[in-house]
Chain A
Amino acid sequence: MKITAKLLLSTTAFMLAGAIPAAAAWQPQKPIEFVATAGPGGGTDNLARAVQGIVTKYKLTDQPVVVVNKGGGSGAEGYVYGKASAGDPYKVIFGTSNAWQQPLVSKVAFNYTDLTPIAAMAQDEFLLWVKQDAPFKTAGDFLKAAAATEFKMGGAQSKDTDEVLTRMIEKAARVKFTYIPFKSGAEAAVQLAGGHIDAHVNNPSESLGQWRGSTQRPLCAFSPKRLPKGPKVTATEGWSDVPTCVEQGLAISQYEQPRTVWLPGKVSAEQAAFYVDLMKKVQATSEWKDYIEKTSQVDTFLTGAAFDDFIKQDLEHVKQVAGEQGWLVK
């Protein structure tokens, strides 16, 4: 039994490896450290641990993989650590768009250029959420009311993705919000359920339980087309039933948060290629599909030039918003 299982596994691994022949060039010789730029239990930590589980299960490398959390300073701790580990191919940093957004708005001692980009592995969508018993049926209703009174909008962290999106809505709809930063999206969700704020722009997984429990509901999704059809969330609705914001007259066609993977700077091209390949193998497993579905994310894989372009585009965009808000650090 055992031998067959091993054989099967190694065959799969072999086939996967065979698909991308460049992989054989460099192999790790000592344990690999996955650095999650978030505390235990957060989305980034979940990603790092899911990848660790898959790598270990399929023996995608001979070396053991350990996950360490360096989530201090909204993730800056982990990136600074990555910067300090220049040339060390045994540290893999898991983060978000924080890697290039944080240095724009706060005086942290790193920039994304200090790191070697490996891939963006999944995209988290954003939705506009209101309390279940709020009078608004559509995003249009909500914005009409927002024009009359200044709504309180909650979100995770300050000058981060949630606030950037909030400011984009302000601009697109010509309204004004009071933005209240919380430690996490989960906290913002509870504050909305308790009626302490009027809305937030949480990722699907951050408010899934609240939607099912009928304490809050999504008005629209910041996505060019409706979210993929999955199992129903409430008795009658699923993610694909949520209209896009553009459909509802809120002209923000796309806003996503990528989950990103990096190596420290000054590693060789072969070393980077090994990890790109490793992440590709991880993405081909059924466990990965399972993880993506359970966390309601969108499966993507950006690497090389595509990833660089993505960063540049996002950076331009955030720079513009941050500039208008006077957030840019000198």
Chain B
Amino acid sequence: MENLQSLLHGFTIAVTVPHLTLMVIGVLLGILVGVLPGLGAPNGVSLLLPLTFGMQPVSAIILLSSMYWGALFGGSVTSILFNIPGEPSSVATTFDGYPMARDGRPTTALATAFGSAAFGALVGVILITFLASWVAQVALAFGPPEYFAVYFLAFASFVGMGGAAPIKTVVALAIGFAIAAIGIDTVSGSVRLTMGIDELVKGVSFVVAVMGLFGIGELLIAVEEEFHARAVSSRVDWKEVFRALGRLPHHGIALLRSAAIGCWMGITPGGPTAASFMSYGIAKRFSRNGARFGSGEAEGIIAPETADHAAGTSALLPMLSLGIPGSATAAVMMGGLMIWGLNPGPMLFVDQKDFVWGLIASMYVGNIVAVVLVLLTVPVFAALMRIPFAVIAPLIVIICVVGAYSVSNSYLDVVLMLGFGVVGYLFKKLHYPLAPLVLAIVIGDKAEDAFRQAMLMSKGSLGIFFANRLVTTLVLAGMALLLLPLVLQIVRLLRKPDEAAHEKVRII
């Protein structure tokens, strides 16, 4: 009850003309940086940060968080339309979003993505409103072994979901881990795998890898197959936006499950990227239409988008209450908090009630503003699909090159991005799955750090992963997810040996 009262007080702060204006500005800027690849939410927020130094902290955080919502939505646009994820967390959206858009249904794909994203965000905010104090305690229980167990769970839920030949998945994972290992190693402090290129000490940026693997890789395939040579004749239909939204409740279970996964990963904090991958993997496993995932299935868009936004929203809670950012953008905002003279931590909720509840109320309002604004842009973006391939293809190359360069103004990144393009093409041609590769690049080094920190703590004993109930449960759940498909396959093989042998190997 006390929380509700504080929330109402928060609304009186958030719903004022200047703050609503800030929200609209923030969301629009956010959509812009989200759509432009290579910029993304963390960069956008840090560009805006100096402008907020003279503002009231609550106004400043409303502007920045609105930009974050806008960027989260905008990041999905390029994933769906061009197979170029603007944000790490929207990679999983490409798996079904892009096929659906290419199939002539870009409006449906975008509307489905935005609708489920809004739902995810809403669940995240409700969780923050009512469980703030409890959630803060949960996050404290996570030490290195628990972190590793969470990452392991994310890997397991995705890797074990079948699809590609298991050995190919393992190869893709191993390459991803090797790429994630490039640069300075946190635990030993030494430089690894730079191959004599001094600049590689910074490691391989995720954005660079993904733009090459997906954007350029897909383009090479398309050129070869001449499949995309014709433009998609999508009629821009407003009714389709509402129809897609109206169909969302039919996927109620997927929505709820994905929101739960998202909230959990946002709090723990595995982060939005791990959340969206894990949610996609689990949805594929448990959905009735699981077999059709990867060919433009609505649930394949709903699962990652809902989880991404639920995690992105709930990731702000550990930042406020513990001072540990659940995502890169949250880390930038935390820097802002310190500059505005606020100290993230347990006392923030006591000392700065206006700030905290003003922010939480603005999350409700800001997300509504964001979803209305992005839905308005759907026809504009969908119309982009009507541009002929001969025009779009060079544009995609330009976008990828500029995007890769702008990550850290480095020519090396452009070369790397093009190299990743070739890798992406080869992976597709040889039927190796890209998703495990990407997942390993994104959370591989974090998982490695957590594992080695845990090993330091236990002096090399694996017993630390079974030391308490929390970590044991996580590890066992991960193992179950990992082994489940193997067990199922063996059972199937024993029952119908012929059919199983001829089953077509599918690639995500």
Q: Contact residues of A with B, CB < 8 Å?
A: 39-42, 45-46, 49-50, 52-53, 56, 67-70, 72-74, 76-77, 80-81, 84, 105-110, 152, 157-160, 178-183, 186-187, 189-191, 193-197, 205, 208-210, 212-215, 291, 294-295, 327
CB distance A108 to B343 under 8 Å? no
* A191 CB → nearest B CB, Å: 6
B121-170: which have CB < 8 Å to A? Answer: 139-144
Task: Among A69, A108, A197, point to the contact of B191 (Cβ < 8 A).
Answer: A108
CB distance B339 to A50 under 8 Å? yes
Given A53-B53, A208-B343, A295-B338, check contact A74 B189 (CB 8 Å). Answer: yes
Q: Which residues of B contact A74 (CB under 8 A)?
A: 184, 186, 189
Q: Which residues of A contact B347 (CB under 8 A)?
A: 209, 212-213
Give Cα distance in the complex from A182 to B189, angstroms: 11
CB distance A49 to B42 under 8 Å? no
Q: Which residues of A contact B190 (CB under 8 A)?
A: 106-107
Give Cα distance in the complex from A81 to B457, angstroms: 36
B343-384: which have CB < 8 Å to A? Answer: 343-348, 351
Task: Among B333, B336, B343, B408, point to the contact of A209 (Cβ < 8 A).
Answer: B343
B335 interfacial contact with A, CB 8 Å: yes
Other contacts beyond A40-B332, A73-B184, A187-B324: 13, CB < 8 A: A40-B43, A40-B45, A41-B46, A49-B339, A69-B46, A74-B184, A106-B190, A106-B191, A190-B323, A194-B141, A205-B338, A208-B343, A210-B345
CB distance A209 to B345 under 8 Å? yes
B325 interfacial contact with A, CB 8 Å: yes
CB distance B338 to A46 under 8 Å? yes
Task: Among B45, B143, B346, point to the contact of A215 (Cβ < 8 A).
Answer: B346
26 pairs, A vs B, C-beta closer than 8 Å: A39-B328, A40-B328, A41-B333, A52-B50, A53-B50, A56-B50, A69-B46, A73-B203, A74-B189, A80-B198, A84-B199, A106-B184, A157-B189, A158-B189, A160-B189, A178-B459, A186-B324, A186-B325, A196-B457, A208-B343, A208-B345, A209-B323, A209-B348, A212-B347, A213-B345, A295-B338
* A286 CB → nearest B CB, Å: 13
Q: Which residues of B contact A52 (CB under 8 A)?
A: 50
Given A106-B191, A295-B338, check contact A40 B42 (CB 8 Å). Answer: yes
Give Cα distance in the complex from A213 to B320, angstroms: 12
Give Cα distance in the complex from A30 to B52, angstroms: 25
Residue of chain A at shortest CB distance from B188: A158
Q: Which residues of A contact B46 (CB under 8 A)?
A: 40-41, 45, 67, 69
Give Cα distance in the complex from A212 to B328, angstroms: 25
CB distance A190 to B322 under 8 Å? yes
Task: Among A77, A108, A181, A214, point to the contact of B453 (Cβ < 8 A).
Answer: A181
CB distance A76 to B453 under 8 Å? no
Residue of chain B at shortest CB distance from A102: B189
CB distance B201 to A108 under 8 Å? yes
B230 interfacial contact with A, CB 8 Å: no
For the complex of A and B, list the 8 residue pairs with the smallest distance between their C-beta atoms, beginning with the closest.
Answer: A209-B345, A72-B202, A213-B346, A41-B335, A196-B143, A158-B189, A77-B202, A109-B198
* A192 CB → nearest B CB, Å: 10
Give Cα distance in the complex from A152 to B332, angstroms: 29
Task: Among A76, A179, A186, A212, point to the contact of B201 (Cβ < 8 A).
Answer: A76
Q: Contact residues of B with A, CB < 8 Å?
A: 42-43, 45-46, 49-50, 53, 139-144, 183-191, 198-199, 201-203, 322-325, 328, 331-336, 338-339, 341, 343-348, 351, 408-409, 449, 453, 456-457, 459
Q: Which residues of B contact A72 (CB under 8 A)?
A: 183-184, 201-203, 408
Q: Which residues of B contact A183 (CB under 8 A)?
A: 186, 449
Give Cα distance in the complex from A327 to B189, angstroms: 10
Task: Among B139, B189, B322, B409, point to the contact of A106 (Cβ < 8 A).
Answer: B189
Give Cα distance in the complex from A294 to B359, angstroms: 22
Q: Which residues of B contact A212 (CB under 8 A)?
A: 343, 345-347, 351
CB distance A41 to B201 under 8 Å? no
CB distance B189 to A294 under 8 Å? no
CB distance A178 to B189 under 8 Å? no
Give Cα distance in the complex from A77 to B409, angstroms: 12
Q: Which residues of B contact A158 (CB under 8 A)?
A: 185-189
Q: Which residues of A contact B202 (CB under 8 A)?
A: 70, 72-73, 76-77
Give Cα distance in the complex from A180 to B453, angstroms: 6
CB distance B201 to A181 under 8 Å? no
CB distance B201 to A77 under 8 Å? yes
CB distance B323 to A186 under 8 Å? yes
* B42 CB → nearest A CB, Å: 6
CB distance A196 to B144 under 8 Å? yes
Q: Which residues of A contact B142 (CB under 8 A)?
A: 194
Given A53-B53, A107-B190, A191-B143, check contact A41 B331 (CB 8 Å). Answer: yes
Q: Which residues of B contact A69 (CB under 8 A)?
A: 46, 408
Given A68-B409, A182-B453, check contact A193 B322 (CB 8 Å). Answer: yes
* B283 CB → nearest A CB, Å: 31
Q: Which residues of A contact B339 (CB under 8 A)?
A: 46, 49-50, 291, 294
* A284 CB → nearest B CB, Å: 18
Q: Which residues of A contact B203 (CB under 8 A)?
A: 72-73
Residue of chain A at shortest CB distance from B190: A106
Q: Which residues of B contact A106 (CB under 8 A)?
A: 184, 189-191
Q: Which residues of A contact B141 (CB under 8 A)?
A: 194
Give Cα distance in the complex from A311 to B143, angstroms: 36
* A90 CB → nearest B CB, Å: 13
Task: Among B49, B334, B341, point to the contact of A49 (Cβ < 8 A).
Answer: B49
Residue of chain A at shortest CB distance from B204: A72
Give Cα distance in the complex from A84 to B184, angstroms: 19
Given A40-B46, A106-B190, check contact A45 B201 (CB 8 Å). Answer: no
CB distance B189 to A105 under 8 Å? yes
Residue of chain A at shortest CB distance from B189: A158
Give Cα distance in the complex from A295 to B342, angstroms: 10
* B200 CB → nearest A CB, Å: 9
Give Cα distance in the complex from A181 to B189, angstroms: 9
Residue of chain A at shortest CB distance from B49: A49
Give Cα distance in the complex from A109 to B201, angstroms: 9
* A147 CB → nearest B CB, Å: 18
Q: Which residues of B contact A67 (CB under 8 A)?
A: 46, 50
Give Cα distance in the complex from A14 to B187, angstroms: 50
Task: Among A41, A53, A208, point to the contact of B325 (Cβ < 8 A).
Answer: A41
Given A46-B338, A77-B199, A157-B186, check contact A180 B191 (CB 8 Å). Answer: no
Give Cα distance in the complex from A72 to B348, angstroms: 31
CB distance A214 to B198 under 8 Å? no
